[in-house]
Amino acid sequence: MDFTLSKEQRDIQKAAREFAVGEFLPEKAQEFDRNETFDLSIWRKACELGFVGVFIDEKYGGAGLGFMEHCLITEEFWAVDAGMGNAVITATFGSELLNLFGTEEQKQKYLPPLVQGEAIMGCAITEPDAGSDVTGAITSAVKDKDEWVINGSKMFITNGTIAKYMNVFCLTDPDHKDRHQRHSFFIVETDRKGFQANKLHGKLGIRANDTAEVSFSNVRIPASNLVGQLGYGFRHLMAFFNLTRLHICAMAVGIARAALEEASNHIKKRRQFGVPLASFQGLQFKIAEMATMIRAARNLYYEAAWLTDHGKMEHAVTAMAKWFSGQVAVKCADEALQMHGGYGYIDEYKVQRIYRDAKIVEIYEGTKEIEKTIVAKNILRI
Ligand SMILES: Cc1cc2nc3c(=O)[nH]c(=O)nc-3n(C[C@H](O)[C@H](O)[C@H](O)COP(=O)(O)OP(=O)(O)OC[C@H]3O[C@@H](n4cnc5c(N)ncnc54)[C@H](O)[C@@H]3O)c2cc1C
């Protein structure tokens, strides 16, 4: 296994870094974080420059690259600003499912607008009473002649109020004896009658990114909007998560890098006891530990991405990478804030935002506990 990046991959990484530095300006990042807003022209620009949906096939307007390249872009974006980085990089969230299981017609219809900056997507799985246990989802889809009728509500949906369409995980066979065969995915346009989205306010972090509670009241969609196989929703979801969890790892490593950079800059400038803080061995140890953890987390997610892109995907390796990189992000953010002392507690300082933004990577798309459960079950074979 060789994780050396190719010249093309290094070029993508560099271009993504330059884009993020040029567009995710500190004053904008602070404004969007405080006001829970985002300027979608930045997302459109990222689309024009080809940073959005690079894993989508060239046939549908994407770059036809691997998920590794998507991760490289994600890491660079999050290393500059998590809130804005997330708003741009998650605009295609859900397209991975279409890529894997969509019909040719669905791919032609829904994928090109995502890379052309014409549509934002979402993926609605979580419900008020079904989070880690996705099989508890009760939003229902009932067949009525050549249509499906959807009823229910979904919680914490990324891009909920701005998505043009979203994949929705629905209960289609509540009495099936195997609870893993009770659900199916559907693509739902958000301008359909009966769809409603309410933006959630007061998030701890990634506040530039839209998150909403969405509801479906007798929303009718054509039978052709079924994504993948009927009753295979859970299996499709696991395959989807194996991809999207990789980009969460990239987010985690990106924000951990940002924490290390902020901490290093601060302790070199700030003087106490007549010397720069950086001259104290206790703080040097923290820097060494952060840098080592970041490298280890990156190597682990590179391995998981490499396995996936080479058709050798291992759920347990992706799960290891996800919980570990999440822990590294949270630990690095904590240490970076600590090294800022009281200044780190004030929102004038970027490290405060990093501290708040980092926590999400241990929660969404499988909490750290769920990831560890996947790893343990794989080892124990239970
Ligand atoms: C900002 C944000 C964006 C999100 N975006 C989306 C989105 O776009 N689409 C979407 O569908 N969802 C989204 N989510 C939802 C997210 O995926 C869930 O919050 C997450 O999966 C956890 O579910 P829960 O919140 O219901 O927590 P719960 O499942 O109630 O878990 C609570 C705690 O119990 C622990 N726990 C639960 N079961 C076990 C177990 N078996 N063993 C050990 N510990 C356990 C969990 O790890 C957690 O610590 C988003 C969430 C947030 C905060």
Residue with tokens 């093309």: 8
Ligand 1 atom closest to 363 (CA): 20
pLDDT at position 2 is 78
Which of 156, 201, 359 for a ligand 1 pocket mutation test, highest count of atoms within 8 Å of Cβ?
156
Give the angle 337-341-343 at the CA atoms, nearest 5°: 85
Catalytic residue set: 365
The residue whose CA has the least distance to atom 38 of ligand 1 is 132
The residue whose CA has the least distance to atom 26 of ligand 1 is 131
Beta pairing, strands 165-171 & 121-124: parallel
Distance 293 CA to ligand 1 centre (A): 25
The partner residues of 220 in beta bridges, in order of sequence, read 149
Reading the block at residue 149, the tokens are 């009728």
On the question of pLDDT at 1 being above 80, the answer is no
Which residues contact ligand 1 via a Cβ below 6 A? 122-126, 131-132, 156-158, 203, 211, 360, 363-365, 367, 369-370, 373
Distance 329 CA to ligand 1 centre (A): 18
List pLDDT tens digits, range 100-154.
999 999 999 999 999 999 999 999 999 999 999 999 999 999 999 999 999 999 9
* Phi and psi torsions of 96, nearest 5°: -60, -35
List pLDDT tens digits, range 257-310.
999 999 999 999 999 999 999 999 999 999 999 999 999 999 999 999 999 989
CA 175/CA 330 separation, integer angstroms: 41
pLDDT at position 126 is 98
Helix axis angle, 82-89 relative to 40-48, nearest 10°? 60
Distance 204 CA to ligand 1 centre (A): 15
Specify whether the CB–CB gap between 263 and 290 falls below 8 A.
yes
> Quick one: which of 174, 193, 192, 196 has its CA closest to 183?
174
CA 162/CA 364 separation, integer angstroms: 19
Distance 5 CA to ligand 1 centre (A): 33
The residue whose CA has the least distance to atom 19 of ligand 1 is 364
Specify whether the CB–CB gap between 84 and 76 falls below 8 A.
no
The predicted model gives 215-228 an average pLDDT of: 98
On the question of pLDDT at 319 being above 80, the answer is yes
Ligand 1 atom closest to 90 (CA): 8
